[in-house]
Structure 1
Amino acid sequence: MNAIVEKLREAYHLDKVPSPIILYNCSENQEKYHKHRQIFNRRFEFMPAAIVLCVTTEQVSVAVKFTSKHNLPLRVRSGGHDHEGECSGTDTILLDLSEMDKVEINSARGIAQIQPGTSFQKLTTLLADVNVMIPHGTCATVCIAGYTMGGGWGPWTRKHGMCCERVVGATLVLGDGTIRKLSMDGNLDERELLWAIKGGGGFSYGIVTEFVIETFELPFEMIKFQIEWNEYCYVPENKMFALRDSTPTLAVLQAWEAVIASTDLTANQLVGTNLKISAKHHAREDGPVNPCTVSHNCVMYGYWEGDENSLWEFIRHRFELTGRYTVKILGKAGCNHKHLPYGEHLMSSWDRYSFHNMNQLKQGLEGLPFPPDEDQPAPHKITSRLVNAQGLGEEGRHKLLESLTSPLVLPGNKHFGLFTYITLGAIIGNYYQHVITPEQKTKSAFPYKDKLFTIQYQTWWNETEKEMEEGQNNHVYTRVNRALDWMDVCRDYAIPNTSGAFISFKDSSVPTKTYFDKSYEDLVKIKQTHVKDPHNHFRSRKTII
């Protein structure tokens, strides 16, 4: 038996806490070990020394005390979606909280008690069944913990703010194994710890084993929709994807930015939205990019509170001058659609291009509204920045489109399942403009409440089972390095009226202070004062210290 595992089991026995399942790399549980060691970003392959499948707060506490006593590196995962792989590590003790997925909903108090391993597909369906909801993310397989501690952007942000704004309590295991119940009316150190986990990033301040989150009433009618400009078509002769139209991307970007900055009543029915713009090849010999005429595939996703007639009128009014587009209704939910499970109908990913759909186009078929690969693990790289309150402005838009039009984005990438693009996620809306007061804005550590939207640069590859089986003998690897070079260029691209970075879109090359801005010094102080972690065992590359 693994010596570390034997000692850890002994620690549970001595503390009179039932021992959880502990996996390590041996013949008797190798299959289960390999399943639990995998994380969402397949760019990283880690081999933890032991994986502890905790199901109670007390089990987490014993493991924390054990690793601290024996000076062993510690990692924690719930859904495993950390883009830089910081939720795991080789030769670490990995606390896997994916089995902690209980949800208790108290409709009378307007709160939900949610354990960290609860996925959004499960959680949103349970909430909708009793006509309530919380601000959630866009990927069904993401779990509540890391999402909320990073801020919690999603399709409800314009109306209800980041998820972290609605956290009113939590159960937290500190660095010495102490279990603390945090609440808004607790003592000073409890209030400061609660403030820190509301957007101050994961892992730094302890291990959360339960969140208490305020719910809101589910609307009568919700529609998830998409609008697409410059759709792709497949050209068999040269095995390339081409754009059907040549609508200038600038027109689409300007229209979308005007909508999210608007304060009129119909714009408020757009409770959340993002805009995905695909990068494209531009040869150096073709001269400078003309940002006024360049065209990219653009897809706007949105959640609409209202019926289809009001949605169609909104689209016509706001986008009829942008050029030819197609509209798809992707799903419906709300009190009027109780027969439709929310998590299955409104929770496909907004953040991915689907290789499955691209293969459908190759065969002359329509892509599916819910591609089966959108939430599947795959290698990827992410980086980000945010747009200041005044908006990009003319020069900012031009520079953004220049960054998306590059010789580093090779022609034919999509044929090999290599996707390079940005997603713009709206933050500004009725909640941060009118609902929340300046004093209330200080109640969470998330520092970017006054930004207009996020810019998330993304590169994904090797997404199909066939490609994964091919491993390194895959043509995509003749292209990935240049796509990652494109990411490096974009990270440092001079785009006026942008600043900061969003910790949920983690990039280890971005300085930690950039993620937390004006909250940074207070977060460091809270870490040093309240977490009882003098040797900083709760650390990874992008924790607060």
Structure 2
Amino acid sequence: MDQRKRNPCPDLTGRIVIPGAPEYNEARLDYNFFTSQDKFPSIIVYCQNTKDVSNAIGWARCHNVPIRIRSGGHNHESFSTGTGVIVIDVSEMKRVSLDKSKGTAIVEPGVTGQELYETLYKEGFTQVGGTCPDVGISGLVLSGGMGPLLRRHGLTCDTLLSAQIVDADGRLIRATENNKYKDLFWALRGGGGGNFGVVVSITIKVFPAKPVTWFNIGWDWNQPIEEVIDTWQEFFSKADRRWFSHLDLWSKAFPTDQFDKLPIKVLGVYYGPPEEARKELSPFLNIGRPSNQEIELVNWNEAIQLFDESTAIFISEKPEYKSPGAFAVDTLPPAAIKTITKTLRNTTSPYFNVLIFSLGGAYSDIAPTDTAFYYRKDKFFLQYTVQWIEDENASKRIREVEALRGRLLPYTGGDYVGNPDSRIKDYLTAYFGGNADRLMRVKRKYDPNNVFHFPQSIPPAPASWDYDWSVKHNGPWYNNELLDK
């Protein structure tokens, strides 16, 4: 007999927010006001511990209420909330335990990237995190996690040692690379948040926080922009793992004076002295007349702050934006570069941005199928973002950014699950490439009833797959050993 039929529904525990409560209107929103403004959850549970999470899952199933899971609330499409759902919010679970001797940390899911950076830095350590300060660490790990240490130590998910997750039956599972839940552990490293259960703690590797050389070289739009883009991609497609960089491109209409930031910037960190960095970066210093040439030694905490200060532009406390992306397996040809510059030069939007990440190094040491994160052989990730002000036409701006992504698809592919795009039809292939089928099989094993579902979630593998998999592998597809082959 089903356990839920024998026992009464559990009571909700934790900090509970319902419609009509003074804090409800703020609590129901995700970071992107545009995609969350029309979503009205039936109840929001701010969990304080694992028991609160288990009770919330049990309550939701007992009352047949759809579940959404939220940590930092930075899902661009606001898939972590919805109308008529229960939001299981783990943002108030913030404990961190550092083991210096082992170089590991146990972190609860509500800790943000900036909070973890600061906590670890006080002890002389750092994490392989991102550069957006408010993103929840659990969401970053589950998406993959691209940041300034990816060329030295890989993605955030590559530092994951174990994860504790509450499954659809309210059970606490500890998944590692070598235990009986190793298939789930594989899926959690890049398989996206909210698909398999609620992560309540992670154990990750941490690393000594050492000084680095920060560089930020900037140009106005009256300079040879196409040469900047081409030089950047040629340099960073071949650079060793001491380098990490963003190429930050804003529209010609960008209000430079308002934000005191240049629209075209080559910025990042070098794990070596400033004199070496300046010598290596001379090709950029000789392009046109750079208006900014910062190349200086900073401590690690300052470097993380500089990334945020240099790239983040939000024009409202409730930003409205669209932010899809794509991966580039090779350097962009001149036609693609012209497409980018023409779009940014001609748009009337002041807040149209293309941010390109340099990949490679340790990021590419891992095979595409070794973790759920698939795009290991690509050289760059392109993040397209457009914001709009209140009286602008949102649909026009969304069409504009989607059009740029579409025009560059001959040279790029896929998308990062951390940058979801609700307009992508074949989203499983776009986010997970050749790992999509395997993720669906893991989903069917751990959540066969699809309790954890949302727009663009991973569905369970269909029953029709069972026979073909069993015949091919002489056993059921859900066997751990077979699944890992």
- The answer to whether the 8 A contact 1:120-1:343 is kept is no
Determine if the alignment matches structure 1 residue 210 to structure 2 residue 201.
yes
Q: Matched residues in 2 for 1:354 and 1:89: separation?
A: 24
Q: Deviations over 1:158-212 (max 9, x none)?
A: 222111111110001111111101112201xx10101101001111111111111
Q: Measure how far apart 1:38 and its partner are.
A: 2.1
The aligned runs of 1:419-430 (5 Å cut-off) are 419-428=351-360, 430=361
Structure 1 pair 347–247 and aligned structure 2 pair: CA distance change class (3 A): closer
- Secondary structure at the counterpart of residue 323 of structure 2: strand
2:230 to 246, 250, 254: 254
Structure 1 pair 400–92 and aligned structure 2 pair: CA distance change class (3 A): same
- The answer to whether the 8 A contact 2:388-2:397 is kept is no
Match in the other structure for 2:249: 277
Determine if the alignment matches structure 1 residue 197 to structure 2 residue 191.
no
Q: Matched residues in 2 for 1:308 and 1:38: separation?
A: 43
Q: Measure how far apart 1:280 and its partner are.
A: 4.4
Q: Deviations over 1:102-156 (max 9, x none)?
A: 1111111221111111011110011122222221111111110111111101121
Match in the other structure for 1:40: 31
Q: Matched residues in 2 for 1:444 and 1:23: separation?
A: 37
Structure 1 pair 301–125 and aligned structure 2 pair: CA distance change class (3 A): same
Q: Measure how far apart 1:495 and its partner are.
A: 4.5
- Secondary structure at the counterpart of residue 31 of structure 1: coil
Structure 1 pair 218–352 and aligned structure 2 pair: CA distance change class (3 A): closer
Q: Matched residues in 1 for 2:456 and 2:48: separation?
A: 26
Q: Measure how far apart 1:403 and its partner are.
A: 4.2
Determine if the alignment matches structure 1 residue 394 to structure 2 residue 334.
yes
Determine if the alignment matches structure 1 residue 333 to structure 2 residue 299.
yes
1:318 to 260, 274, 283: 283
- The answer to whether the 8 A contact 2:9-2:58 is kept is no
> For the aligned residues, what is the CA RMSD?
2.4
Match in the other structure for 2:450: 536
Match in the other structure for 1:520: 436
Give the partner amino acid of 2:325: S
Match in the other structure for 1:445: 372
Q: TM-score, normalised by structure 2?
A: 0.84
Structure 1 pair 391–122 and aligned structure 2 pair: CA distance change class (3 A): same
Q: TM-score, normalised by structure 1?
A: 0.76
Q: Matched residues in 1 for 2:375 and 2:295: separation?
A: 31
- The answer to whether the 8 A contact 2:13-2:56 is kept is no
- Tell me which stretches of 4 or more aligned residues in structure 1 moved more than 4 Å: 10-13, 341-344
- The answer to whether the 8 A contact 1:161-1:427 is kept is no
Q: Which moved more, 1:479-488 or 1:45-54?
A: 479-488
Structure 1 pair 331–542 and aligned structure 2 pair: CA distance change class (3 A): farther
Q: Deviations over 1:477-513 (max 9, x none)?
A: 2x43322220221232144331111111110111222
Q: Deviations over 1:325-367 (max 9, x none)?
A: 1123699324xxxxxx559845625543355xxxxxxxxxxxx
Match in the other structure for 1:169: 162
Q: Matched residues in 2 for 1:24 and 1:432: separation?
A: 43
Match in the other structure for 1:31: 22
Give the partner amino acid of 1:191: K
- Secondary structure at the counterpart of residue 151 of structure 2: helix
Equivalenced residue count is: 439
- Secondary structure at the counterpart of residue 146 of structure 1: helix
Q: Matched residues in 1 for 2:410 and 2:314: separation?
A: 31
- Secondary structure at the counterpart of residue 319 of structure 1: helix
Match in the other structure for 2:383: 456
Match in the other structure for 1:501: 415
Match in the other structure for 2:132: 139
Q: Measure how far apart 1:450 and its partner are.
A: 0.7
- Secondary structure at the counterpart of residue 268 of structure 1: coil
Give the partner amino acid of 1:506: P
Q: Structure 1: 5+ residue runs without aligned partners?
A: 1-9, 231-242, 282-295, 335-340, 356-372, 463-473
Structure 1 pair 377–149 and aligned structure 2 pair: CA distance change class (3 A): farther
Q: Matched residues in 1 for 2:175 and 2:155: separation?
A: 19
Q: Matched residues in 2 for 1:520 and 1:446: separation?
A: 10
Match in the other structure for 1:378: 319
Determine if the alignment matches structure 1 residue 348 to structure 2 residue 273.
no
Q: Matched residues in 2 for 1:314 and 1:445: separation?
A: 35
- Higher relative contact order (Cα pairs below 8 Å, separated by 6+ residues): 1
Q: Matched residues in 1 for 2:131 and 2:119: separation?
A: 17
- Secondary structure at the counterpart of residue 324 of structure 2: strand
Give the partner amino acid of 2:420: K
